[in-house]
Amino acid sequence: MRLSPAPASPVPPRAEDEDSSDGASPGGAARHGAPADDDIVVPDVEPRRRRRLTPARLGLRARITFAFAATAAILSTLMAGTTWGLTRENLINQREAAAIGQASRNSSIMALRIDATQDSGALREALASLEAPTSSRPSVELAGGSTASLQPTLGPAQVPASVKAAVEAGQPVRMRVTIGGEPQLVVGIPINDGAAAYYEFVSFVELQDTLESLAVSLFGASVVTTLVGGALGYWLSRRTLRPLANVGLAAEAIAGGRLDTRLEGTEDPDLNVLVSSFNHMAQALEERIDRDGRFASDVSHELRSPLMTLAASVSVLASRREEMPDEASRSALDLMDADVARFQQLVDDLLEISRFDAGVARLSLDEVILPELVRQAVAQRRDTRDDVVVDLGGELDDLVVRADKRRLVRMLDNMLGNAAAYGGGATRVAVEADGDVVRIAVEDDGPGVPVEDRTRIFERFSRGAGAGRRGTSGDGVGLGLSLVAEHARLHGGRAWVEDRPGGRPGARFVVQLPVARA
Amino acid sequence: MRHDAGVATRILTVEDDARIRTAVKLALEDEGWKVDEADTGEEALELFAQGPADVVLIDIMLPGVDGFEVCRSIRRMSDAPIIMVTARDDTHDIVAGLEAGADDYLTKPFAPKELSARIRAMLRRVRTADSGATHLRFDDLEIVPEEGVVRRADEEVHLTKTEFRLLLELANSPGRVLSREVLLERVWGHGYFADGRLVDVHVRRLRTKVEADPANPRHVVTVRGLGYKLQT
């Protein structure tokens, strides 16, 4: 729908127009009894715009891709989280068990030493001689308060009070603390029933590093999994939607007139439902259009036969015109003769139109010497003016185009007839070649066509009404120009009317056709 | 054409619609022709067998034996010009009718004047060569206009009147291209806007008779976009 920027008046509601029923358009609002504000005219285009936006937020393909990516992200995060948690638990437990075992062995050794000496220097040597990995820092605190440690910054002074209290109460204990920004496990073991306390700090820095790099790896894996999931989703959606794209192409082909277009069956039973219902629809459509086409043909037979009889009978009468006794009979005969011809033209035009409507109109392409055709078409009309100028563009004299000769002649004849009926006869007929198009123009010096009527006059039965407009002569049946437009369209061209060039009064009817020059 | 020496030109019309048949008969009799009527294909063939007509007018849409079949049957018996009448200006029907042997066609409803003009064109005497030559020879093709005889490789070939007239038109200006419009005018007596397929179908049929290999014609050749010529 082409939208004008600001309609001057509210668009009246139409029953078949969904938009008017949602209350947003003034017509709809008024119909539902809501007070309509006359000052604010809301064009009915607004709801339509919104409505179109809502379902089009995300395409099916995008949604499938997104769903795959999200699922992959959730699953991989869950897996990574579980892996990380379990691994961390395991590693810490192992590490703690090892530390506790070692501390308890070391405390037994230190218990013997403390029995032998209480000298802090000797105790430090004893501590140094303990079998311990570099990450552990043993220390002892005697009941008297004197301490000995391998590293002063990680000695009994740093042991948390709660640990000390438990150890003093004779309870071996462990606790994870952070000292100087480093995670440590402190193990406290009472020695010789409270005579001393053995403490050991075991650094968990390495473990933390290990866990961190594991986390980074797991995160990376999750990201990759998510991306792969998204890519898989994209690929799958394309694959899944390809049949839909084919349906779209087929539908377009059918709309374009290739009615025998069908979808190929697939091995997928789910898709086959769509394929078969689509093909069923296409078949029904084709049959219906065929039926319509046959109907046109049947109508043709039905209408043409009586017309045939009429025409032949009238011609027999016409050949005896001079023998008729009175003027009234002769006038009646003349009227009948003229209107039988008009009737024939009308039936021909209607059948032509019905073929366009049924989509059965086909071009019968031929090589046509265009200037010659135009010359002949002008010459064969009896109502052309004596002073008509036929401008074939000089060097174009042998311009050969591929076109449907019969339709070309009909177009020209209808334009000439239109000029004769409404414009006082054609003053100039021109053929113009312009790149890959040719134009056939018919000009007259009649009243011209007002700008507002220039589209309408190409519609069916749209003879202009009112004085000064085309159609006042009452001749013709109003199908001529619409057929000109249809024939031009079938050729891939178009027809229009414009002002006569040079500011002179009159109209210029133009048919423009694309030309594959022969 | 007013008939000579009391021998009326006979026209056979085959049409199932009695009203049309009567009206057409009245119009043709107005021209001074004798008209025989048939309302079925069978009757038409019977009538034709009893006494050949000068021109046959056949409605394609007939009950029983259809117009195409009547065309073919008459063609087997005679060269008489056949004008077919079709209610449909359906490309397929028209080409099929021409291929069944029709010389010309009209679509319903046609003006009786148009029909008389076509019939007159069909009855016209064959135009003799401008040169007045009694023998025209093109390689293995020999035309004797006066006798209406054509021989290929010394063997007489049988042409219908229209085919003969078409060949003679081409032979009268050997080597020159004649557009379909010109041929339509000279052979069929049609105006510029007639159907070029008349020429195409007749040329095709002519080739099957005068060419050794109709698919690769040596005599009647097509000049794309322009028309046909007789190769010298």
> What's the average model confidence in pLDDT over A327-332?
92
> What's the average model confidence in pLDDT over A7-22?
42
CB contact under 8 A, B225 and A400: yes
> Is the pLDDT at A21 greater than 80, yes or no?
no
For residue A142, report the phi and psi dihedrals to the nearest 5 degrees: -85, 160
In A135-268, which ranges are continuous DSSP H helix? 161-168, 205-255
Pick the range with the lowest mean pLDDT from A95-104, A371-380, B3-12, B143-152.
B3-12
CA of B55, closest CA in chain A: separation in Å? 18
Instruction: Give helix B112-123 / helix B18-30 axis angle, nearest 10°.
Output: 60
Query: Residue A457: which pLDDT band, with cuts at 50, 70 and 90?
Result: confident
Count other Cβ atoms within 10 Å, centred on residue A286: 16
* ipTM of the predicted assembly exceeds 0.85: no
Note the pLDDT of residue B126. 55
Residues of chain B neighbouring A400 (CB-CB closer than 8 A): 225
Angle at A382 between CA A381 and CA A387, to 5 degrees: 90
Count other Cβ atoms within 10 Å, centred on residue A482: 21
SS3 labels along A420-432 = HHHCCCEEEEEEE
Query: Residue B157: which pLDDT band, with cuts at 50, 70 and 90?
Result: confident
Angle at A406 between CA A404 and CA A408, to 5 degrees: 65
Residues of chain B neighbouring A305 (CB-CB closer than 8 A): 17, 19-20, 87, 108-109
Read off the pLDDT of residues A363-417 as tens digits, 9 standing for 90 and up.
Answer: 888 888 888 888 888 888 877 777 788 887 766 667 888 888 889 999 999 999 8
Token pair for A157: 């002074």
| B91 part of contact set with chain A, CB < 8 Å | yes
| B223 part of contact set with chain A, CB < 8 Å | no
Pick the range with the lowest mean pLDDT from A333-342, A355-364, B175-184.
A355-364
Which residue of A309, A339, A412, A413 to mutate against B (max B Cβ within 10 Å)? A309
CB contact under 8 A, A308 and B23: yes
For residue A428, report the phi and psi dihedrals to the nearest 5 degrees: -150, 135
| Tokens 């043993």 found at | A138
Residue predicted with more confidence, B132 or A113: A113
Q: Prior bond to A447 cis, omega within 30?
A: no
Residues of chain A neighbouring B181 (CB-CB closer than 8 A): 372
> What's the average model confidence in pLDDT over B127-148?
72
What integer best gives the mean pLDDT of chain A? 80
> Is the pLDDT at A510 greater than 90, yes or no?
yes
Read off the pLDDT of residues B21-72 as tens digits, 9 standing for 90 and up.
Answer: 999 999 999 989 999 999 999 999 999 999 888 999 999 888 888 899 999 9
> What's the average model confidence in pLDDT over A250-275?
83
> What's the average model confidence in pLDDT over A200-222?
90
What integer best gives the mean pLDDT of chain B? 85
The minimal CB distance from B112 to the residues A300, A315, A406 is found for A315
Note the pLDDT of residue A178. 87
> What's the average model confidence in pLDDT over A113-127?
79
Note the pLDDT of residue A235. 92
For residue B169, report the phi and psi dihedrals to the nearest 5 degrees: -60, -45
Which residue of A298, A310, A315, A348 to mutate against B (max B Cβ within 10 Å)? A315
> What is the per-residue burial (b if ≥16 Cβ within 10 Å, else e) of A23-49?
ebbbbbbbeeeeebeeeeebbbbebbe
> Is the pLDDT at A34 greater than 60, yes or no?
no
Residues of chain B neighbouring A300 (CB-CB closer than 8 A): 87-88
Query: Residue A504: which pLDDT band, with cuts at 50, 70 and 90?
Result: confident
One-letter amino acid of B106? L
Pick the range with the lowest mean pLDDT from A82-86, A162-166, A291-295, A346-350.
A291-295
CA of B5, closest CA in chain A: separation in Å? 24
Q: What percent of chain B has pLDDT over 90?
A: 28
Note the pLDDT of residue A17. 42
> Is the pLDDT at A12 greater than 60, yes or no?
no
CA of B16, closest CA in chain A: separation in Å? 11
| A390 part of contact set with chain B, CB < 8 Å | no
CB contact under 8 A, B196 and A366: yes
The answer to whether A312 touches B24, Cβ cutoff 8 Å, is: yes
User: What single-letter DSSP state applies at residue B8?
Assistant: P
Count other Cβ atoms within 10 Å, centred on residue B46: 11
- Strand-strand pairing, A173-179 and A182-191: antiparallel
> What's the average model confidence in pLDDT over A266-277?
83
Token pair for A388: 């008509």
> Is the pLDDT at B146 greater than 80, yes or no?
no
> Is the pLDDT at A42 greater than 70, yes or no?
no
CB contact under 8 A, B196 and A312: no
> What's the average model confidence in pLDDT over A258-283?
85
> What's the average model confidence in pLDDT over A452-467?
70
Highest mean pLDDT among A1-10, A60-69, B1-10: A60-69
Note the pLDDT of residue A195. 79
> What's the average model confidence in pLDDT over A210-221?
91
Note the pLDDT of residue B7. 67
